[in-house]
Structure 1
Amino acid sequence: MTPPAAIARTIPAALALSARRHGSHIAIEEGAVRISYAELEQLSRTAGRALLALGVEPGDRVVIWAPNSHQWLVAALGSLMAGAVLVPLSTRMKGGEAADILRRSGARVLFSIGEFLGSYYPALLAEHSLDGLRHRIVFEEAREGDQTWQDFLALSGQVPDEDLQQRIDGLDGDSLSALMFTSGTTGYPKGVLCAHGQNLRLFDSWSEIVGLHSGDRYLIVNPFFHSFGFKAGWLAALIRGATILPARTFEAEAVLRCIERDRVSFLPGPPALYAAMLDHPRRGEFDLSSLRVAVTGAASVPPVLVERMREELGFASVVTAYGLTESCGLTTLCRPGDDALTVAGTCGRPLDGIEVRCVDDCGIPVPMGEPGEVLIRGYNLMQGYFNDPEATREAVDAQGWLHTGDIGVLDERGYLRITDRLKDMYIVGGFNCYPAEVERLLMEHPAVAQAAVVGVPDERLGEVGKAFVIPRQGTVLAPDELIAWSRERMANYKVPRCVEVVLALPMNAAGKVLKGALR
């Protein structure tokens, strides 16, 4: 693994290093657009000079509200070169939600898509007051009166390259790189601050362990605005010199077609991505032989899914990982050579320099093999919540431990198994019930493609489980039969009292099931 001292300390420095090492290698391939690493550095410097022309100062926040694209990446790298703090914004947000984060972050510049999925994004902000926002640039599908991407890049001629280099030279590993707002699926979104150096160290280690290299063709389906698509996505690819293939939306057949056409070798994603690919009725018609590595992770990664990914999709390596925005997106990871049971049943062990423990309600470490709240300490912890010192103190205690709200179990090797979210637990007749455990068991049923379980009120027991399940292609799934099947395999309190067969589960943009919507 690369020694920490040998890793570039800032993201612009990492790009410059890759441009020297892999100058002619394709960095981004998006349709007819092909940009080499040398060209990516020059385009990013052009964007950086244009931002200086707009008056962007070190520490200013620059927001990107758009789907994955080469413009997204150039704008992000240019912003970091200018010393700005990048604020990625979910394309799932409505105008009011986006305006709230634009105001709370104090953003000076907004890059956005024009038309996307039936909405014109600049128009979504029309009714909202954004006095602090000085500039709005539209990547594509711009309308009359918009400042276009080409107009923006042309501003670079007003600033000499030496001025930009001075700004780049002023950065170090402790400089803030990103302000990422948590998804808000369970509460009010909080802004998480991270720095250049910790992200580079963390995802250089991640890349080394999973085997990402310059010859890989990396299809990034996870959105760039999420830690998975940003850090384990384009940032890791940039560090290693891999080719980035941005995907704007996830549609199973489009992904299968892309794998065949573009000879994709590296495909991380949430469990729902692989489940949808596996159960696509035309999967067998596509050549997936180029696939080599899959990296996934969630509270629930059923063993049967990992087995099917290997056997039916042909991945030579499937590894699971765990992290959250407050830990720069990564904490634990499986290792090469881990047996199938370890990969299926855990999310790996901590990376070097990171500690994990599981504690009880009093903060006392629980015995090995017993469930407790997962705590994390190490160089990967956030710099804090933006403008919220009280929330930061609540999340990170005086000893430097981040309290995650996740329930996990550590084994004798230090491998972590996430059993559930603390807030998703429900109590059935006095027994704590963790939905992820029930979901994993339901996924063993031969007719179940995906499952999500929530607690619902019950007059007798207080709460009971309700399961929402998607059947596998070509199967018939009867709710009563699944409940009977569950009674034979689960403790009674774990058995869902109600099963609803659905065609789809509500997901956020990161591929996580929206349990609040199901409730």
Structure 2
Amino acid sequence: MTAIRRELSVTLLLTAMHLERFIQVLISGDVFSLIAILTIKRARYLQNSFGTICIFQMVCDIAKLTLSTLFGLIPEEYAPPISSKHAILFAIHRFVFVVFPRAKDAWERTTPYAIAVCTIISIGKAGLPMYLDSNLYVWFDRERMMWFFTDSPETMRYITLHQIAFSFTEVSLVIVMDFISFTKLLCMRCKVSSNVWGAQSDLEVKLVFQEMIKSPCTPIPIPEGTVIDRILRTLKEQSISNPDKAAIALSFAGFLSSRGFKAGDRVTLALPNSIEWPVLHLGTWALGGSVVGSSTACKIYDTVYQLQDSSSSVVVTTEQMLETMIEAAKECPSVHTIVYLRSSENRLPDGVIDYKDTITYDPIEKITQVTMDTVCLIIYSSGTTGQPKGVIHTHRTLHCGVEQFRSHWLHEIYPVLGGREEEWFTDHQIVTTSCQHGYGFTLLNVFLVTASPVVIMRAFDGDVYLKVVEKYKPRMLFVTPPIFAFLAKDPKGIAASLASVQMIFCVAAPLGQELSDAFMAHHPNVKYIVQGFGMTEIFASHLPLLLEEGANASGGVPGAYFEQKIIDPGTLIPCKQGHRGEVLVRGAPQTIGYLNKPEAGKSLFDDEGWVHTGDIGYINERGFLYIVDRMKELIKVNYMKQIVSVFPAEIEGAILGSSRIRDVAIVGIPGIDGGELIRAYVVKSDNTLTEKDVEATVADKLAEFKWITGGVIFLDAIPRNAAGKILRRELRDNTN
């Protein structure tokens, strides 16, 4: 009986000893982990090296605990004073704060209870040996941090077995915690699923590695089919509400087929937003063709260039552009068909076909099968050579852009806004951005894929827009800064019209924080004002997360298909978190290049496929992108309540065509309603040249949104650097 009581006492003492040590480690881990996490949050340099420290410490943990376990088999006098206490402390710290950062508060709340348990165990441990066996003495060696029992060799062997067992347990515990922590760290660098890790609330942890940041959004596979297959399938499923949309599109395809249109041919759509857009672009895709977007503001100079560059065979336009297209077609042998959307009963010019006649043809029975790498869209964007560049998108890149947007709203936006899941895509949506723009075209196809009720506004009219919002009661608005500026001008007067709106999503240019905050003060129903980031070449690379209510001035986080990094433009070395540099992105929706301009494509992509956006930005401690400047001198012009990009080199090229002008520099200066004004700095070669002459030179050649609106200033010389590049910042800084 005495032997049993003795073995029982040893077992209880050992258990109490290890339990006490474990709880002490928890308490210590609480304190040290809290200090560490506060330090990491406040010191950006430490944050960048935190992942390396964790990985190194994990290796040390396993090595120390393995040695500690092996030394349990060595006679006591030869065993070095190794303890696994610190290994467990570090492991617990990483496990909790890397894998379960939200458990920090709960851990802090349990600390008083852990102290109380430790106290009870200490009291019990002091009195238990005397009660069970007065001949059993226990002493503590502070130098080696170990308990010793003096009784018999059998007891010491028993204790040794206990130590070995506990050591193996500690090794297993730490290895498991380290493995999970290490896996999480790899996920931060490689791929993170918000379904698995709860990405939205744990974004700050994902900044362990700054060289490259993957999207924290829900991962989605690359679509296998084309957008048109998906849209036509959706339209057929929605046959009650859309009885003839698919049939009309296939009828237009029948018309194109009768004109000899075949796979690989191109249709230029030079028309404003209208309900005909889906019919026209779906009909073109049905025959394997591609759509070329052209601004209705283009004049003969722009139009001839784009038609020749794209080799378009069919043009669809409106009364506004008809004469320009007829004249341009004379210089473009590839154009053999002009379709006209009539807005009056005026007689059609010879050779021009009424759109209404094109949709009376028999629908094609089977759409042309194409690969995902077939070109389906060309959008012209300004370029460094002074000429617009045709940005090429395939069915793969476009479908990925559409699917990323749809999936993001499904997984990251609608669940936060709430409501019944089956009603998420039944809200009315309003498209105000031109469908010739990558963003507007993406939105249109997202709403076609999801069968969302959509209102397409021909052009922005403030009064009409408010009436549409009030009538259809959308929960979210997709706007540009000029439209938001209009809404913010009279927040009290339009409060009733925006009563249904919960979120405003703004793109094209950064939105001022002060203006956003002032707007929200008068619209308590608007819970979120968020922004995105993108360009024609990549559609939208960054999308918002609704982590907290209010106005967010950031450009969001990388979408599901994208990864990003910030580099120093001079050294090309990745920047640390919080440091400014050029924004680089890489993802499935990005363009395959520029039409007929392979050299321009080489300057867009690096050898690893990263797209150099030309924008300067930084990543904050939560993983959000902030755009602060532009490397490229793109001017953001407010044209008809939409932000249009204008490159100075194109205007400079048009102006320098005049023999009366020796040199010129174009810069953007701050304007009103969220846009910039275009200012020309000119060096005369003819002293009789006037400001109006310069403005007329541009107005005669270029689209209206490229005209000089910020005045003309005459100089003796344009400031340039040693390489001959214009010092635009110097001109802009001296703007009065």
Task: Give the TM-score of the pair, scaled to structure 1.
Answer: 0.74
Give matches, 1:354-393, under 5 Å: 354-360=562-568, 361-393=570-602
Q: How far off is 1:121 after superposition?
A: 1.3
2:605 is aligned with 1:399: no
- Give the Cα separation in 2 of the matches to 1:248 and 1:291: 22
- Give the Cα separation in 2 of the matches to 1:275 and 1:511: 19
- Give the Cα separation in 2 of the matches to 1:264 and 1:69: 20
Deviation string 1:451-495 (CA, Å, 9 cap, x unpaired) is xxxxxxxxxxxxx99654569xxxxxxxxxxxxxxxxxxxxxxxx
Aligned partner of 1:461 in structure 2 is none
- Give the Cα separation in 2 of the matches to 1:144 and 1:176: 32
CA contact (8 A) 2:432 2:459 kept: yes
SS at 2:532's partner residue? strand
Aligned partner of 1:459 in structure 2 is none
CA contact (8 A) 1:47 1:75 kept: yes
- Give the Cα separation in 2 of the matches to 1:316 and 1:256: 19
SS at 1:181's partner residue? strand
Select which of 132, 149, 154 maps to 2:355.
149
SS at 1:291's partner residue? coil
- What letter corresponds to residue 364 of structure 2 in structure 1? D
- What letter corresponds to residue 318 of structure 1 in structure 2? I
2:413 is aligned with 1:216: no
2:221 is aligned with 1:4: yes
Aligned partner of 2:486 in structure 1 is 276
2:624 is aligned with 1:408: no
- What letter corresponds to residue 40 of structure 1 in structure 2? K
- What letter corresponds to residue 436 of structure 2 in structure 1? F
Q: How far off is 1:303 after superposition?
A: 1.4
Q: How far off is 1:339 after superposition?
A: 5.0
SS at 1:268's partner residue? strand
Q: How far off is 1:39 after superposition?
A: 2.1
Q: Decide whether aligned partners of structure 1 residues 171 and 46 sit closer, same or farther in structure 2, where only a CA change above 3 A counts.
A: same
- Give the Cα separation in 2 of the matches to 1:324 and 1:230: 13
2:340 is aligned with 1:138: yes
Q: How far off is 1:311 after superposition?
A: 4.1
CA contact (8 A) 2:408 2:559 kept: no
CA contact (8 A) 1:309 1:315 kept: no
Q: Decide whether aligned partners of structure 1 residues 324 and 316 sit closer, same or farther in structure 2, where only a CA change above 3 A counts.
A: same
- What letter corresponds to residue 310 of structure 2 in structure 1? S
Q: Decide whether aligned partners of structure 1 residues 137 and 466 sit closer, same or farther in structure 2, where only a CA change above 3 A counts.
A: closer
Select which of 325, 334, 339 maps to 1:125.
325
- Give the Cα separation in 1 of the matches to 2:254 and 2:669: 55
Select which of 359, 364, 368 maps to 1:161.
364
Select which of 281, 291, 297 maps to 1:86.
291
Aligned partner of 1:22 in structure 2 is 238
Aligned partner of 2:438 in structure 1 is 227
Larger Cα Rg: Structure 1 or Structure 2? 2
- Give the Cα separation in 1 of the matches to 2:385 and 2:527: 36
- Give the Cα separation in 2 of the matches to 1:307 and 1:207: 28
Aligned partner of 1:193 in structure 2 is 392
Aligned partner of 2:176 in structure 1 is none
Give matches, 1:56-95, under 5 Å: 56-95=261-300
- Give the Cα separation in 1 of the matches to 2:589 and 2:304: 29
Q: How many residues align?
A: 422
- What letter corresponds to residue 389 of structure 1 in structure 2? P
Select which of 35, 40, 47 maps to 2:252.
47
Q: Decide whether aligned partners of structure 1 residues 470 and 318 sit closer, same or farther in structure 2, where only a CA change above 3 A counts.
A: closer
Q: Decide whether aligned partners of structure 1 residues 216 and 143 sit closer, same or farther in structure 2, where only a CA change above 3 A counts.
A: farther
Deviation string 1:364-388 (CA, Å, 9 cap, x unpaired) is 1112111111111121210110111
Shifted more, 172-181 versus 286-295: the winner is 286-295
Aligned partner of 2:144 in structure 1 is none
CA contact (8 A) 1:376 1:402 kept: yes
2:534 is aligned with 1:323: yes
- What letter corresponds to residue 324 of structure 2 in structure 1? L
Q: How far off is 1:390 after superposition?
A: 0.7
CA contact (8 A) 2:541 2:562 kept: yes
Q: How far off is 1:298 after superposition?
A: 3.8
- Give the Cα separation in 2 of the matches to 1:339 and 1:390: 45
Give matches, 1:346-357, under 5 Å: 346-357=554-565
Q: Decide whether aligned partners of structure 1 residues 470 and 288 sit closer, same or farther in structure 2, where only a CA change above 3 A counts.
A: closer
SS at 1:277's partner residue? helix
- Give the Cα separation in 2 of the matches to 1:307 and 1:95: 44
Q: How far off is 1:515 after superposition?
A: 9.1
Select which of 101, 110, 114 maps to 2:306.
101
- Give the Cα separation in 1 of the matches to 2:546 and 2:402: 16
Q: Decide whether aligned partners of structure 1 residues 96 and 21 sit closer, same or farther in structure 2, where only a CA change above 3 A counts.
A: same
- Give the Cα separation in 2 of the matches to 1:413 and 1:186: 38
Aligned partner of 1:445 in structure 2 is none
Q: How far off is 1:161 after superposition?
A: 2.8
CA contact (8 A) 1:45 1:78 kept: yes
Q: How far off is 1:166 after superposition?
A: 4.6
Aligned partner of 1:261 in structure 2 is 471
Q: Decide whether aligned partners of structure 1 residues 408 and 86 sit closer, same or farther in structure 2, where only a CA change above 3 A counts.
A: same
- Give the Cα separation in 1 of the matches to 2:707 and 2:507: 13
- Give the Cα separation in 2 of the matches to 1:17 and 1:465: 46
CA contact (8 A) 1:348 1:416 kept: yes
- Give the Cα separation in 1 of the matches to 2:261 and 2:233: 25
- Give the Cα separation in 1 of the matches to 2:590 and 2:285: 20
Q: Decide whether aligned partners of structure 1 residues 466 and 59 sit closer, same or farther in structure 2, where only a CA change above 3 A counts.
A: closer
Deviation string 1:321-371 (CA, Å, 9 cap, x unpaired) is 1000111x110111133453xx52311110123111111122111121111
Q: How far off is 1:207 after superposition?
A: 2.4
Q: How far off is 1:125 after superposition?
A: 3.2
Aligned partner of 2:452 in structure 1 is 242
- Give the Cα separation in 1 of the matches to 2:501 and 2:259: 43
More strand by share: 1
Select which of 205, 225, 230 maps to 2:404.
205
CA contact (8 A) 2:288 2:370 kept: yes
Q: How far off is 1:214 after superposition?
A: 2.7
Select which of 497, 500, 512 maps to 1:290.
500
- Give the Cα separation in 1 of the matches to 2:236 and 2:499: 31
- 5+ residue gaps, structure 1, are 26-35, 115-119, 426-434, 437-449, 451-463, 472-507
Q: Decide whether aligned partners of structure 1 residues 250 and 511 sit closer, same or farther in structure 2, where only a CA change above 3 A counts.
A: farther
- Give the Cα separation in 1 of the matches to 2:668 and 2:255: 55
- Give the Cα separation in 2 of the matches to 1:326 and 1:514: 26
CA contact (8 A) 2:408 2:560 kept: no
Q: How far off is 1:187 after superposition?
A: 3.7
- Give the Cα separation in 1 of the matches to 2:707 and 2:623: 28
SS at 1:55's partner residue? coil
Q: Decide whether aligned partners of structure 1 residues 70 and 42 sit closer, same or farther in structure 2, where only a CA change above 3 A counts.
A: same
CA contact (8 A) 2:219 2:561 kept: no
Select which of 300, 305, 315 maps to 1:110.
315
- What letter corresponds to residue 418 of structure 1 in structure 2? I
Aligned partner of 1:177 in structure 2 is 376
Q: How far off is 1:248 after superposition?
A: 1.1
